[in-house]
Structure formats: C-alpha cells, structure tokens
Amino acid sequence: MKSNAFVSALLAMSLSVGGPAFAQPSGNEYANDPDQIRLQRQIQRANEQQRQRDYVQQRQRGQWQQGRPGNQYRDGRGAGPDHQYYRGDRLSPEYRHRNYVVDDWRGHNLNAPPRGYHWVQVGGDYVLVAIATGIILQLLLNN
C-alpha cells in the first residue's frame, strides 16, 4: 500500500514537472524583441495605408460600389450625357444650379417630388435629387 502511494506521488510529480515541456510554442519567437515589434507595426501601418490608397483610387475611377444604395443598377445605363450618375450618387455642383431644376414637373410628365427633393434635368434624363445634399434618389432615363 505504501508503494502504491509512493508510485502515485512520483507519477504526479513527474507529470507536473514535465507538463511545460509539452507546451506548444506561441508562434512568435520574437514576441519580446522591441525591434521585431516595431517592424511588425510598420508593416501593418504600410498595409493599411496601401488599402486606403487603393480605396481612394477605386472611388476616383468609379469602381467602388460596396455599401451604397442602388448599386445593383450599376450594370445598367446611368443618367446624364456621359451616363455617369446613378442612384445613391451625389449630383455634381454644375447640375445643382437653379437653371437645371424642373419646376414644371407636371409639364414634363413627372411625379410630384417629395418634400426636400426636386427634379433636375441632366441632359435628356431626369433625376430626383435631395435639395440639401444632392444625393440622387430616382432616375428617369430618356431612351
């Protein structure tokens, strides 16, 4: 009986001492090296800056469509002479001048604009635009 207790105690001690030997490495052997930490942060910063530059370039080329209302219509024709205006886009300042606003919407066979919106004629097309922001709510394309 004494030998069983002794063997059990010996086995328990060997397991407790040998346990850390089976631990897995953290995967970053340079975790405490300040130079390596600084290098990793610089790489992360450079990657984030590149992602931001790519985003800006895509926006400028009109290729960024994620998360904006009406992007399912991007495959079709847009409004305006160059077909560059889509639902959810902001109408450029040149068309936000009073000369392009359609006051006689009945004469142009258009619906009454909701409060805060007005119809704007862009080339041969009509767009329903928020007065305050210039965001396009609806397009009526002239074929």
Q: pLDDT tens digits for 11-39?
A: 676 666 655 555 555 555 556 788 888 88
Domain 72-140 maps to which CATH number in 3.10.450.160, 3.40.50.620, 3.30.70.260, 3.40.718.10? 3.10.450.160
CA distance 27 to 14: 26
| Predicted model pTM | 0.49
Q: pLDDT tens digits for 37-54?
A: 888 888 888 888 887 777
- Phi, psi angles (nearest 5°) of residue 40: -65, -40
Percent of the chain with pLDDT over 70: 66
Laid out side by side, the sheet with 101-102 consists of 101-102, 117-122, 125-130, 136-140
Q: pLDDT tens digits for 80-137?
A: 787 888 888 888 888 888 889 999 989 988 989 999 999 999 888 899 999 998 999 8
